[in-house]
Amino acid sequence: MNYRIFPPEEIIETTLTLPLSKSISARSIIINALTPDAPELPDAADCDDTRALLKALAEPDATEINIGAAGTAMRFLTAYFAIQEGRDVRLDGSERMRRRPIAPLVDALRQLGADISYEGEEGFPPLHIRGRRLRGGALTIDASISSQFVSALLMIAPLLEGGLTLTLRGQLVSRPYIVMTLGLMERAGVESDFYLDTITVPAATYRRGLPDAEPDWSAASAWYEIAAISSGWITFTSLPELSLQGDRACAALYASLGVNTTFTSDEGTSLSANPDQSPRLVHDFTDTPDLVQGAVVTCAMLGIPFRFTGLKTLAIKETDRCQALVNELSKIGILLRREADDTLVWEGERRPFNELPVFETYEDHRMAMALAPVSLFIPGTVILNPDVVSKSYPGYWDQLREAGFAIVDADAPLPEPTETI
């Protein structure tokens, strides 16, 4: 079913419980699997990516594993299975996954002695992985494509002969996610050193269980967008101010877009409107690419011109996210401009439109969540294939309903307008 969305009739005032962090959960699942005599797995996010990881790890004799569209699972499991002596696994995914590059990670693992071959196009899944004991040492990897390649290597690094000294080449993207990985490894008993562009992890054994995952700052960012566009009041029952998650930066970002964040120990974290919106927003998203789509739509709806850089990695996400934003916002007269391969610009250019928007989601959960709040300005906005939010935030639509949004079958006829006298 496709969804047609209508905004609340009153100003939004809602309290909600966020899902647990997908990023922390995915790393915790892998680290737990690498820990001898591991304790019970801590509470983790319930979403497509974590389900794909848990299913793969729960089938010790499986030779064919398909992780669907779960990019995190593809990267982390590639490294994980490479060091599982005796395992022989074919790792595959969706058609989109088969177009997402994985060569930098495979090349790095091969340098460590991994036996991995491509079963289709060179440099892309599906992969045939024959697990073996890997040597450590010094290694260089291109860190400008995906931080998950780096995190995948780091999590297996303690198990390598001699540990690993990893040098990051090129512009490091999503640095907070690498810091998150190292932080979770430390909590599990493995120390490391990250200095300039080099990370050193000694040979060691994971020896401690990890705590439950934190509430998800990436999910919170979807509500920051709603708070900015609606000027409503939104409270999260729990959201840590001090967090391993890089997307906590959305609090500072949205302070420039009219949203105050108030942290309290007993009343949760509250979002409220302020009048101090930037007249034009310039921001580098190199560290926080998952915040881009929501920020673009927020600025477009509020009429705030922007220049956003650091977007290079968006082309290899679930879809080419920059082009998807250009395509979909043009349906409501917003004319975005791409510059080079890492910049998106809007100087307020518009053109008239005369149809209710029907937004494609491109099998991308963040496109669906970024575009749904357009309904606050354009009641009756349609979101196609809304179930894609299950990748990270399965309860998103239910929580929109709890906040007062009306969500109906898009294929049902629109109600006739009520005649008034």
3-state helix, strand, coil in the chain (%, to 5): 35, 25, 40
Distance separating alpha carbons of residues 179 and 151, to the nearest angstrom: 9
The CA–CA distances, whole Å, from 198 to 7, 28, 341 equal: 49, 23, 27
Q: Which two tokens stand for residue 287?
A: 């560290």
- The answer to whether 193 is a known catalytic residue is no
Instruction: Tell me the residue length of the chain.
Output: 421
Residue 96, C-beta contacts closer than 8 angstroms, at least 6 positions apart: 69, 318, 319, 363
- DSSP secondary structure string for all residues of 203-268: S----SPPPPPPB-HHHHHHHHHHHHHH--EEEES---SS-S-GGGGHHHHHHTEEEEEEEETTTE
Residue 321: Cβ-neighbour burial (10 angstroms; 0-12, 13-18, 19+): buried
Give the whole-angstrom CA distance, residue 281 versus residue 58: 46
Tell me the helices (H) and strands (E) count for the chain, helix number first: 12, 20
Distance CA 25, CA 31 (A): 10
What type of residue sits at position 353? Answer: F
Which among 49, 127, 51 has a CA at the least distance from the CA of 82? 127
CB-facing half-sphere around the CA of 12: CA atoms within 13 A: 33
**Among 290, 320, 364, 398, which one carries the catalytic annotation?**
290
Dihedral Cα 322, 327, 328, 329, nearest 10 deg: 80
Contact 100, 74 (CB under 8 A): yes
Strand boundaries in 26-160, DSSP class E: 64-66, 88-92, 115-118, 127-130, 135-142
CA geometry: angle 170, 171, 175, nearest 5 deg: 125
Is-contact 314 295, C-beta < 8 A?
Answer: no
Query: Given the DSSP bridges, would you call strands 406-409 and 381-383 parallel, antiparallel or unpaired?
Result: unpaired
Residues 161 and 163: their CA atoms lie apart, in Å, by 6
| Residues designated catalytic | 290
